[in-house]
Amino acid sequence: MACLPDEVWIEALQLGVRARILDHRDLCSLSIVSRRWGKVKAAKALAHKRRVLRIQSDVAVLEKECKDLEREMQAEKIKLSNILTELQTLEQARRSSVALKLWQPEIVRLVQEQVVRQQPIDPQFRHYSLEMEAKVCREEIKKCRRRIDRNRLVIEKSNKDLEFLTYNPTQNLHEDVPQKRMKKLKTEKQSF
């Protein structure tokens, strides 16, 4: 029986239904024996498995991208803090150069001259370039944060889709029912 071609199976089932010889139980049992239905079922199972694996792969890629973005954001934050400390030293040098133009005691004047001499570039030009670098760092941090948030939303949606695809009501049948209620149901069944 199993060696019959698919076309013969289909024709036999259609003739049985038209002649009202086969009822739904007979159709089910014949379709279980048929090779074609087994092939279709196996193909559907493989397609489902591929879809689940594709979603899991996408989630893994997005999680890796989130980790990379978080590392990049941390590097930008460190760079920004270094820029801000350099800006503070430049501000101190600028104040010292302004203070040199005023009369001060000799000890204070020597300290301020030393601070001004330590700055190799004119503080005004360097201050402007550091401010621009700080703005760029802040923008990069914002971009990273937005991309991380966007990726997390996609991950959340993909996890919901994955949960939907992998849900099997027969496996979770008894997990939702509390243990006491299960015992009560068993005793009721035994009493009938």
Q: What pLDDT is attached to residue 12?
A: 78
User: Which of these, 151, 159, 162, 157, lies nearest to 51 by C-alpha position?
Assistant: 162
DSSP letter, residue 119: -
Q: What pLDDT is attached to residue 147?
A: 96
CA–CA separation, 53 and 28 (whole Å):
31
Q: What angle do CA 96, 99, 104 make, to 5 degrees?
A: 120
Per-residue pLDDT of the chain (192 residues; tens, 9 = 90+): 556 777 777 787 788 888 888 787 877 777 777 666 778 888 999 999 999 999 999 999 999 999 999 999 999 999 999 999 999 988 887 777 776 667 677 777 777 777 777 766 676 778 888 999 999 999 999 999 999 999 999 999 999 999 988 887 666 555 555 566 656 666 665 655
Q: What pLDDT is attached to residue 67?
A: 96
- pTM to 2 decimals? 0.61
